[in-house]
Amino acid sequence: DALNQSVSELRNINVSFEFFPPRTEQMEKTLWKSVERLAPLKPKFMSVTYGANSGERDRTHDIVKQIHHETGVTTAPHLTCVDASADELRAIAKDYWDNGIRRIVALRGDLPQGMGKPEMYAVDLVRLLKDVADFDVTVAAYPEVHPEAPNSQFDLLNLRKKAEAGASTAITQFFFDAEVFLRFRDRAAAAGIDLEIIPGILPVTNYQTLVRFAGMTNVHVPDWLHKQFSGLDDDDQTTRNLLGANIAMDMVKVLAKEGVRDFHFYTLNRSELSYAICHMLGQRAS
């Protein structure tokens, strides 16, 4: 009750939504329906991913421009540096700037199989972007440590370098234990990291996919989550959505109570769960 009470008194909540470029016409319809549904919640920004090594950066660019044009919401492309030269990246950044894009999510991208040490890390991309223009740069952070990092301290120092290079915010990898985020936030503050760290919230609707993805990204899937979803593989999607929303809401309530005011939603191009969670947080369409 105390938790619900404190959530109902929340002020100054900021939300943001992440989408990915659709691959089919059907998926494209779903994306636009979701954008139209979520934009009236006045998110701080919406972002569009770019699959490193996919060669489809233009699609990210087109969708970013279209979302920005149609909704007026600040829209940020994700940009990876693992698959482009510094000259190419400078040209892309300049083009974004010339098209009115002021915010970029700067990432290294996953290394292709067999690739040795990359020429650029995300920190180098942050520097390059800031060199081209005064972008508002967001980077990635890993409460449970990035899989390639030798240890958590190294990874935290990498985040500090990204802040020192000019990033202003970081979005975290998704997680399921609010404590994991809160401890990470404390460690970052203790390390003098001057960044706003935004929790990345993944409302789960497909447990099997989640488990696969979590395995690749070093995210711990707690036993209780497994128990919640077990036996529902063939069940109605509505059941799973209700469960996913409930789990995410519980986590978001704890974070809000601990002073978190910014939330980033991995929408997977669906609006239902993110919309419901935002509503619970007091966000209203206008």
Nearer to ligand FAD, 7 or 46 (CB): 46
Token code pair at residue 8: 């109902």
Taking the complex as a whole, how short is the minimal distance between the CB of residue 250 and ligand FAD, in angstroms?
Answer: 22
Q: What is the dihedral of CA 136, 141, 147, 148, to 10 degrees?
A: 50
Taking the complex as a whole, how short is the minimal distance between the CB of residue 49 and ligand FAD, in angstroms?
Answer: 3
Name the site residues for ligand FAD (rule: CB under 6 A).
49-52, 78, 80, 105, 107-110, 121-122, 140, 146, 148-149, 154-155, 158, 171, 173, 200
CA distance 230 to 245: 16
Taking the complex as a whole, how short is the minimal distance between the CB of residue 158 and ligand FAD, in angstroms?
Answer: 4
Nearer to ligand FAD, 80 or 274 (CB): 80
Residue 261 exposed, middle or buried by CB count within 10 Å (0-12, 13-18, 19+): middle
The beta strands (E) that lie in 96-238 are given as 103-107, 136-141, 167-172, 196-198, 200-201
Is residue 77 within 8 A of residue 50, CB to CB? The reply is yes
CA distance 172 to 154: 16
Nearer to ligand FAD, 31 or 171 (CB): 171
Taking the complex as a whole, how short is the minimal distance between the CB of residue 36 and ligand FAD, in angstroms?
Answer: 22
Query: How many whole angstroms from its chain centre is CA 35?
Result: 16
Taking the complex as a whole, how short is the minimal distance between the CB of residue 120 and ligand FAD, in angstroms?
Answer: 8
What residues contact 154, with CB distance under 8 A and at least 6 apart? none
Nearer to ligand FAD, 68 or 78 (CB): 78
Nearer to ligand FAD, 219 or 277 (CB): 219
Active-site positions read 18
